[in-house]
Amino acid sequence: MELELIRTYYPEGTNGNLLSNGLGLCHTIELPWLDNQHGISCIPEGRYELVKRWSDSKKWHLLVCDVPNRDLILIHPANDALKELKGCIAPVTTLTGQGKGSDSRIVFNKLKEWIYPILERNEKVFLNIKSDQDEHSTEGNSAHT
């Protein structure tokens, strides 16, 4: 299965729309693009495999595999990227600002209910991250092209 994350970059955070076969699943929030710097930047655009992962702190969530120069990039609940994320992706029900949203846990649980059975059938799930623009008008985002 191929999922698509279409991003819009802002100085205070990155907002996105997560799609499957062109249909919207939810919005997403991430840190702003700061050249893929560990802990303060969203990850580069590209195609990544998603797998199930467990940790005591996050419980069941999704791991974004093989991110260049980064590790432990997760998809997990959060409503404020600058306060709650270190490079991970958070699904949200509603976008409320740059890198901010609401009701993340509700939509995250729905995503798990939809994606986990696919993974349990040993089918692969990929996340394709792209910009909402062909050319980036936001200064500093040229690394995404």
Q: What is the pLDDT of residues 47-60, one digit of tens each?
A: 999 999 999 988 99
Give yes or no for a contact between 9 and 131, defined as CB atoms under 8 angstroms apart. yes
Q: What is the pLDDT of residues 65-118, one digit of tens each?
A: 999 999 999 999 999 999 999 999 999 999 999 999 999 999 999 999 999 999
In the predicted model, what is the mean pLDDT of residues 12-37? Answer: 97
Residue ranges covered by each domain of the chain:
2-144
CA distance 108 to 126: 17
Q: Which residues contact 81 (CB under 8 A, 6 or more apart)?
A: 13, 14, 29, 30, 31, 90, 99, 100
Q: What is the pTM of this model?
A: 0.90
| Average pLDDT for the chain | 92
